[in-house]
Chains A and B, each alone.
Chain A
Amino acid sequence: NAGVTQTPKFRVLKTGQSMTLLCAQDMNHEYMYWYRQDPGMGLRLIHYSVGEGTTAKGEVPDGYNVSRLKKQNFLLGLESAAPSQTSVYFCASRTGALSYEQYFGPGTRLTVT
């Protein structure tokens, strides 16, 4: 099993450009999460999903959109990138309601100039 994978690993965007980050998991997990990691701020939850077709906002959702069209994929979109969105983005997944352990992807390093 590959576990949780993220595409791309690195990306540089110009202000105003758009992009989509892909998270994929092959563990048949119900719940998926997108976090951003910034120095001195820890991990902050952007959006999450309890299952195919459902999404919800986390702590810092502004400027991001998500979609969960397939159970194994969770997409994070930036419609108009801003320098404040320069960060490392982590995706995570979890089996279900009774298991709280989250499995993380390797991260995507995004720079917006």
Chain B
Amino acid sequence: AQRVTQPEKLLSVFKGAPVELKCNYSYSGSPELFWYVQYSRQRLQLLLRHISRESIKGFTADLNKGETSFHLKKPFAQEEDSAMYYCALHLPDRGSTLGRLYFGRGTQLTVWP
């Protein structure tokens, strides 16, 4: 079963419009959640982690345990936000303290001028 679900493969908005990228997770404990971003032909890089409750490049994400969601939001999208966004859940591995990330399938965001 998919641990992390990103229901939208593609999302398009116009510059200046609000954007929300959805992420739902499957875990009954206290989750460690992340958003990673991959700009065209670049490596993945960390955008946000829920534990730090920070805003990066105008993006925020709030953990909603009741809805098991960690949606990524930005009030005014910019063209340079166009990228692939991955939601990721860190879970401990069985029998070890290592843990690993489970990635969603990603949402390709396109911001039109």
Q: Please give the residue numbers on chain A whose beta carbons come within 8 Å of chain B beta carbons, in ascending order.
A: 4, 31, 33, 35, 40-45, 48, 50, 56, 58, 90, 92, 97, 100-102, 104-107
Contact = CB atoms under 8 A, between A and B. Distances in A.
Given A100-B90, A104-B44, A45 B96 contact: no
9 contacts: A40-B105, A42-B6, A42-B104, A48-B98, A50-B98, A56-B93, A100-B32, A101-B46, A104-B45
A76 B42 CA distance: 21
B13 interface: no
Nearest to A102: B101
A40 B103 CA distance: 12
Given A97-B98, A100-B101, A42 B49 contact: no
Main secondary structure of the interface of A (DSSP, over half): strand
Nearest to B45: A104
